[in-house]
Each structure stands twice: as C-alpha cells, then as structure tokens.
C-alpha cells in the first residue's frame, strides 16, 4: 500500500487501508468560471510559457470536479483563489466565501494583493472565517515585502491563519520570486504560519532551511516529485532523508484540477518518499495526507 494508488479509482480505498478517514488537500483551485477559463487558456499555451505542454487533466464542470474530489476520498480541501492584478482580490474573496458556504468540504479561504485596501479586506476575510490564504508572487508579479502588506502579514500571523505562498521560481521566474525574497517577510513576521507551495520548487534546500529556522513554516507537496516535475526541476537525491527531519511539516497539496496528470500520480510520489526512508513509512503518509493539513486548516485561533 505504500507504493501508492495505481489509479484515481483506488485512492479512497488506499487511504482507508492507511487507517485514514480520507485525505485533506491544502492546495486545490476553484475560481469563478471565467477566471478558470482564462487559466485553462494559459495552460493551452504552456509550450510557449514553459516550453512543455500542460494538458489540464480535469477540465470539467465545477460540479464534476467536486464529485471527483469526493470520489478520491478528499474529506476537506482549501479552494485557493489568486489575483493577477489590483482590484481583484476583494472580489475573489467574496466569491470564494460564498463557494465555501455552499460546499461543505471546502474551507473558506482568501487571497491578497498589495493595494491600499488590503488590510481591510484581509481582516474582513479572517473575521468571516477564512482558514487559509493564498499568495501567488509570480502570477501577481508583486513584491511580498511591499510595506503595504505588513499589517496583513501581522494580522494573519496573530490569527494563526496559514498562508499558502507560491514564492518559488518554479515553474516560472518572476521579478519577486525566490525563497530568499519571502524569507525577508518571515524575518519581519517570524510567527507567520507559512506553507511554501511546491516545497519552494526548485529551491528545495532553501525552503528546508526556512523550516529549520521558523517553527511555523511548512511545505506543501503540490506537483513535487511527480514525473512531470522531475523532468523540469529534479528533487535532491536525499529528499526523503531530508523530510525525515521534518515529517510533521509537510502537507498534501496537488493543484487539482490544473495538473497535467491524474491525481493519483501525486500520491504515488509521496508514497515513494515514505518508502525511501525507514523513518518515514506509513506514519509519514498519515501525517502528510491528513493530520498536518487538517491541523493547518483548523488552526485559526478561536475555531
Ligand atoms: Zn496552485
């Protein structure tokens, strides 16, 4: 069972055999339909953007995508939204708040962008129950160190709301990407609960160094170690051994539905790490696939 599910159809049973009631996925995307269509159109041009084709595997209606997550046994997930320009985050936050109200397995989330009203709408989102905030430095093309964001980082740190931050250079560099840039935000807000999306890909070493320095920093597994990513940005050979130092600081993330392979592929990658170091094994799988992401999404104080 440690080798992972052979196909999507056997994921739920695999999780049960591990003794889990299901999976918790901290990195899933749901967006207003016209925004999602734009995202898919972007992936259709992936060859131009990334130099590789990126056929979105789950290009289905919202209802069908939700039904699939349930079939996989995903008990809870964070539907992440992110803006690519100013004036968009507040609207996305409102959209995702309603989405989470209608979809019981989705936790309320929010996003942010450096703009004058950012503290106001982040505070509103946290008050309204947001349990996870997505920050996309490359798509947003902004500097996470922008002083206008300081009150928002402070508020999120105080509230214990995890921030899933795509700050790495992968798959595309941006003006402000790089784990070291985000490290400056952490230096200023060391109590921030930060989940480094894609484990900081491709700067895995730097991401792990931040985990050592800051007890509230985590990694998400999104796309990490899948054959698709391994071709572009290879994991260090001692990855599993490195994870054995921080087994409770890794959370399942997948980027469903915008991945160029089946959901089970991600789970097999994680299962391979579990199998590669005897200190990991099934307890590691239970932590990554369920306990850690669940604790993160439940972690906001007073909830
Ligand atoms: Zn993502």
26 C-alpha to ligand 1 centroid (Å): 10
The helix (run of H) or strand (run of E) holding residue 67 is helix 62-71
Complete domains list, the chain, with CATH: 8-297 (3.20.20.140)
Cα-trace Rg, the chain: 18
Q: How far apart are CA 239 and CA 245, in angstroms?
A: 10
278 C-alpha to ligand 1 centroid (Å): 30
28 C-alpha to ligand 1 centroid (Å): 7
Query: Which residues is 256 bridged to in the sheet?
Result: 28
168 C-alpha to ligand 1 centroid (Å): 12
Supply 35's token pair: 């925004």
248 C-alpha to ligand 1 centroid (Å): 21
Q: How far apart are CA 85 and CA 115, in angstroms?
A: 10
CA torsion 178-242-220-189 (nearest 10°) is -60
Low-confidence ranges of the chain (pLDDT < 50): 300-303
What confidence score (pLDDT) does residue 2 get? 61
pTM: 0.95
What confidence score (pLDDT) does residue 1 get? 52
């Amino acid at each position: 069972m440690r080798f992972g599910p052979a196909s999507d159809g056997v994921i739920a049973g695999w999780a049960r055999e591990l003794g889990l009631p299901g999976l918790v996925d901290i990195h899933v995307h749901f967006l207003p339909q016209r925004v999602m269509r734009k995202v898919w159109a972007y992936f259709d041009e992936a060859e131009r953007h990334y130099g590789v084709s990126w056929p979105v595997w789950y290009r289905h209606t919202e209802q069908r995508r939700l039904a699939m997550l349930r079939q996989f046994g995903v008990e809870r997930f964070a539907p992440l939204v992110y803006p690519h320009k100013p004036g968009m985050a507040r609207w996305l936050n409102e959209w995702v708040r309603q989405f989470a109200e209608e979809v019981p397995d989705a936790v309320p989330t929010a996003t942010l962008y450096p703009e004058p009203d950012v503290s106001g709408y982040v505070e509103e989102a946290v008050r309204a129950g947001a349990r996870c905030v997505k920050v996309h430095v490359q798509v947003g093309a902004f500097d996470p160190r922008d002083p206008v964001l300081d009150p928002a980082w402070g508020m999120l740190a105080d509230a214990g709301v995890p921030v899933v931050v795509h700050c790495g250079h992968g798959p595309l560099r941006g003006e402000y990407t790089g784990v070291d840039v985000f490290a400056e935000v952490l230096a200023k807000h060391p109590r921030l609960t930060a989940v480094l999306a894609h484990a900081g890909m491709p700067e895995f070493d730097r991401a792990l160094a931040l985990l050592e320095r800051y007890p509230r920093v985590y990694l998400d597994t999104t796309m990490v170690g899948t054959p698709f990513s391994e071709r572009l940005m290879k994991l260090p050979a001692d990855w599993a051994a490195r994870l054995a130092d921080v087994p409770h600081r890794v959370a399942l993330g997948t980027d469903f539905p915008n991945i160029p392979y089946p959901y089970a592929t991600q789970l097999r990658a994680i299962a391979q790490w579990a199998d590669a170091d005897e200190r990991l094994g099934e307890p590691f799988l239970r932590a990554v696939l369920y306990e850690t992401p669940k604790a993160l999404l439940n972690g906001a104080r007073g909830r």
